[in-house]
Amino acid sequence: MRPTYLEVNLSQLKQNLENIRAHVAPAKVLVVLKANAYGHGVDGVAPFIAPFADYIGVAIVEEGIHLRKMGIATPILVMGGTLREQLPDFFEYDLTLAASSLDLLTAADQLAESTRKRIKTHLKIDTGMERIGVREYEAEALIEKSLACSQFVEVEGIFTHFANSEILEPLESPSLLGADSKLSDSKVKASLQLERFQEVLYIYEKRSEPQPAIRHTANSGATLSLPESYYDMVRPGVLFYGVYPARDIEKTIEVKPVLTWKSKVVYSKVTLPGRGVSYGSLWHTEAESRIATVPCGYADGYFRRNTNQGRVIINGKSYPQVGRVCMDQFMVNAGEDDIKVGDEVTLMGNGIAPEELANWAGTNEYEVMTNISARVPRVFVGAVQ
Ligand SMILES: *Cc1c(COP(=O)(O)O)cnc(C)c1O
């Protein structure tokens, strides 16, 4: 196997889920497996975790199909936008549709009736993202339609998604917002989104109709900090993978990262003083230094933006990444230490938090994890059931 690989600790992953479940009970837990299980490798994560999940969430229909082809039988909600021509796949693979417009729900109903096939759907209400979904002030028509659908359409759920759940109120910190602090006034608070969602639920009451059985709003941020958002189910993504969605959020649920990104020194040489290292010679040795080469680069998802920012651990010691990160390799300055070919290198985990990698590259942990490319094998450990 390739010396550069990602170790995924499945028992810690299960522990994270158990801790979340204990905190939100009796609410159900939808486990978010989109984007290759946030980069963890859905082929290993899904079969292991599916038996413990009430629902699975993916972003696109292809991810749902992939899970069904693997034999996953848990209900799967395709949370993202869907084109009308993708609807037949929902019937064929028993995927739950996020009904994000009146047109889409109408098309699904027509297809269900004409083919006499069943489909499950969750109505998608947009309370402040301006992404997909029907706004709370225009939701009545969608609900009316959902109540009038044929017997083949089961309106099982209704949901919304927060734009700012991870930011603690009051939302006044200008540093979070970049240059324009006036933006803070226009930020939609999770509590306001919740009120808008609640308005939509009142429509059912006014009509003496029961609300859909599964009402859900909470992503990781809300799962941690907004218990009134739980309703019948929560949808924690990054939190399930052991990462907190924001630096200053209260850690009301204990989780730990499950990834360790490892490699091995593939070359080790002593470089003369004053020599430039890597493309562009952006870093020079000051003294005679041991330069170790790690067979991992930006094509593996180790950001080029980490150049002269990153650090790794070799033989229990931290060393700086130096010179331009290349497509397939990067270099480390080991100074006077004796680093040998074959020595293990830790790129993430064991003392290097995903947060650190995010800081080096000026991004967030979500992108760090989902960016680790398919060229990096995933090795699953700790699968004790
Ligand atoms: C990705 C996603 C989530 C999970 O978000 P986290 O911030 O990772 O918890 C929840 N709901 C929807 C609709 C999503 O697209």
Per residue in 71-82, pLDDT (tens digit) is 999 999 999 999
The percent of residues above 90 in pLDDT, for the chain, comes to 92
Catalytic positions, written as ranges: 34, 279
Distance CA 309, CA 296 (A): 15
Model pLDDT for residues 139-166, shown as the tens digit of each residue: 999 999 999 999 999 999 999 999 998 7
Q: How far is the CA of 48 from the centre of ligand 1 (A)?
A: 20
- Residue 185 pLDDT: 55
Residue 128 in contact with ligand 1 by CB distance below 6 A: no
> What digits encode the pLDDT tens for the residues 207-223?
999 999 999 999 999 99
pLDDT of 181 strictly over 60: no
Q: What is the pLDDT of residue 171?
A: 46
Query: Is any ligand 1 atom within 6 A of the Cβ of residue 372?
Result: no
Which residue has a Cα nearest atom 14 of ligand 1? 79
pLDDT of res. 187: 74
CA atoms within a 13 Å half-sphere pointing along the CA-CB vector of 255:
31
Mean pLDDT of the chain: 95
Task: Output the pTM of the full model.
Answer: 0.94
> For the chain, which domains are there?
10-241 (3.20.20.10), 259-352 (2.40.37.10)
Distance (Å, rounded) from C-alpha 317 to C-alpha 211?
Answer: 57
Distance CA 15, CA 13 (A): 5
Q: Is 26 exposed, middle or buried (0-12, 13-18, 19+ CB in 10 A)?
A: exposed
pLDDT band at 257 (very low <50, low <70, confident <90, very high): very high
* 296 token code pair: 């991992």
Q: What is the DSSP letter of 250?
A: -
How many whole angstroms from 213 Cα to the centroid of ligand 1? 20
Ligand 1, residue 34: give the atom nearest the CA.
1
| Minimum-distance ligand 1 atom for the alpha carbon of 166 | 7
Cβ atoms 236, 21 nearer than 8 A: no
The 10s digit of each residue's pLDDT in 93-140 is: 999 999 999 999 999 999 999 999 999 999 999 999 999 999 999 999
